[in-house]
Amino acid sequence: MDIIELIRRAGLEQWVVQDKTYPGALPPGLRSSYCYTRDTGHSIIVVLENEYQPGEAVDQYLAPAAVKTVIKSGYTVKDGLVWCRIPFHPLTGLEEDLDDMEF
């Protein structure tokens, strides 16, 4: 799946800034899920594995996470999607270290 389709599936069209690139080298498994969002900066669109309920649509669990958070947390790539366990609070969203955010 290409990044445009992934952005659409995640509902991020209005938040993504086009034509940004990550300033460092991304691991090969993360490159196809990279985007830059207005509020989180350099991000990877991930499936929140710890929130996902089998049988439900994966799209409901897609979220942009800071590149550093994804790398720190560990991830797997399944069916072209990056799966990652990042703490999530239903009211405040992903619980990431502010130091992981890169703009």
Per-residue HEC secondary structure of the chain comes to CCHHHHHHHHCCCCCECCCCCCCCCCCHHHHCCEEEECCCEEEEEEEECCCCCCCCCHHHHEEEEEHHHHHHHCEEEECCEEEECCCEECCCEECCCHHHCEC
Residues in the chain where the model's pLDDT stays below 70 = none
- Please report, for the chain, the start and end positions of each structural domain, with discontinuous segments joined by +: 3-93
Nearest-CA neighbor of 30 among 60, 68, 61? 68
pLDDT digits (tens, 9 = 90+) for 11-40: 999 999 999 999 999 999 999 999 999 999
pTM above 0.85, yes or no: yes
Confidence (pLDDT) at 1? 83
